[in-house]
Each structure stands twice: as structure tokens, then as C-alpha cells.
Chains A and B, each alone.
Chain A
Amino acid sequence: MTSATLHLPTPLRAFCDGHDTITLEGATVGELLRALEREHPLMAGRILDDAGQVRRFVNVFVDGENARAKGGVDAGVADGAELTIVPAVAGGAPRADERRA
């Protein structure tokens, strides 16, 4: 059975009993993320959306490559691979209407 290590960002650790790294079994990105949800139910909906796809504001990197370019949740994962969950980090200055408010 293929297993891989998931590295979790700080904002998601509260839903995984504080773990920063978890080793799970699965041959694709989707299998691993569903295994994560089974093991830590509070993670449900935080990386995968209702359709089972990786949410818009999250990226999953497999051994340094963005899984979106490799088939998304169907991307294959080699035994011993490292997955890093990367939250989209964004924001910006107040828009003109906000500054006037």
C-alpha cells in the first residue's frame, strides 16, 4: 500500500489534533485527502469541497509540484511522497468605497 506524508499549515492544525505532519495511506491526492478526513472528521470541507475537488483557496503540492497541474485529486502519489497543503494567502488595501465609508 502506498503511503505519503502530509504537511499541514498552522491554520488547519486545530482540526487535526494539533498535528503538523500526518502519514496516511493512499495512491492519489484524493485518496489521501479523504483518508485525512476519515481520520480527522473536523477536516471535512476544509481542503476538499462538496464535489470532492481541492478548494479554490487551497493548493496541494506533491513533492514540490502543484497537484492542480497533475490532475488535481486524481494525481498519482508515489510511495513515500510528501504532500504540502498550501493555503492561498491573499488580501489587499481598502478599495476606494471602503476608504470613504
Chain B
Amino acid sequence: MTKPARTTDTPLVGGDSDRDGAARSGGAVRPGDAAGRPGPEPAAPRLAVAPRLLARAREAARAALPAEACGLLLGRVDGERTLVQRLESTRNATASPAEDTFEVHPEDYLRLDALARSLGLDVVGVWHSHPDSAARPSRTDLERAWPGWSYLIVGRAAHDDAHERSWRLDDDGRFVEERLVTAGEAPAPRTTQPTILR
């Protein structure tokens, strides 16, 4: 598998961004320097997505109204950073009302999984829309979530204040927000703590 290009990230919503590879220790104890000064914060998970891909998700979410839209994220994981290189839509195969549920059609998953492998990528996450509610995972999202994937949500897709946030399960099975960043620009300082849904 090809090693991803090294880039810097810029936050898209709230949160912060760190220089790629600057703090990848990931441990519970912050590293320090020889003088005892604390080192950088451990890297927090973040999802790097090009703005054009987010725009595509928002467009697909609007096109699917009043149903939820859904799809897969193809890309690479490099430590705590997940780089999305393709955002693909899939059929919503839910047997429940599609206004508030989604299920990626398994045949579409199969097709995109094969596409990802042919490109040297992986399925690294899932995206879906909430037509009327915010981009926070629901109880259903939590019950059906898999560890190790990013869950990108287009919130309020039917409204003028549509927005995107991304989440992933932590070791305790809770959704933790991951910073949504775009690759290739200078990072901004951290301004907020990540949200953990209990």
C-alpha cells in the first residue's frame, strides 16, 4: 500500500489541528522535554476531507430528501489521522422508514470495498445524513456502529444550517467527536476540547 503524502490539516469545524506527525505518541502521559516542560498534547483522532467531498455529501443529502442519504468513505489511516480520498454514495437499503434510518446496501459495500482495494485504499468510514436533526450520533447510530471507522454525519440536511461533524467509537464504546480537517493548509491552534457522548 502506498504511503500517504505528508500534509498539514486545517480544522473545518471547532476543534483544533496539529501538524501531521507532530504528536503521535497517543499515550495517556504527555511527553516532556529535558527541562521538564510539557510536550505537545497527544494527537487526537481527526478526519481529513477535501471540501469538495463534503460538498458532495451535502448535495447527495439534499437530493435524497426526505430520506436519509448514506455512503462510504474510502481512504487511508495514518496513526490518528484518517485521510478520506473518495466519498461515495450508496443505496439506502433500510427496511424501516428511510426518513430516519439508513442501511448501506451490502452489494454497494461489496463494490466499493473492491474499488478501495484496487486503488490501494480501505473503507475507512461511513457517512450519512440527518435531514432535520444536528450532526450528532443517535441511539441507533451508536447501536449499529463498528469500531475503527469514522462516522461522518451531515446534520440538518434539509435546512439552511446544514453542517458536518465526524465521530468514532472509543475503547469504551462511546462516540467521541473527531476533528474534521482539510488537508494541505496551515493548522490553527486548539480552541476546544473534544466532545464525548455518554
Contact = CB atoms under 8 A, between A and B. Distances in A.
Interface string B90-113: 000010100111111011011001
A98 B139 contact: yes
A58 to B, nearest CB: 10
B122 A10 contact: yes
Interface string A81-101: 000101111111111001100
B140 A92 contact: yes
Contacts of A61: 106, 110
B147 to A, nearest CB: 5
A14 B104 contact: no
B123 A66 contact: no
Given A10-B123, A86-B106, A86-B110, A91 B146 contact: no
Contacts of A92: 68, 94, 96, 100-102, 128, 138, 140-141
B133 A93 contact: yes
Contacts of A66: 106-107
A55 interface: no
Interface residues on A, range: 20 to 34
B198 interface: no
B137 to A, nearest CB: 7
A2 to B, nearest CB: 22
Contacts of B138: 91-95, 98
A5 to B, nearest CB: 11
A17 B79 CA distance: 16
B139 A89 contact: no
A99 B101 contact: no
B38 interface: no
Nearest to B141: A91
B148 A11 contact: yes
Contacts of A11: 146-149
A94 to B, nearest CB: 4
B113 A91 contact: no
B61 to A, nearest CB: 11
B26 to A, nearest CB: 15
Q: Which of A64, A87, A90 has the most chain B CB within a 10 Å cutoff?
A: A90
Given A10-B122, A61-B110, A84-B113, A91 B131 contact: no
A89 B96 CA distance: 14
Interface of A: 7, 9-11, 13-14, 20, 57, 59, 61, 64, 66, 84, 86-95, 98-99
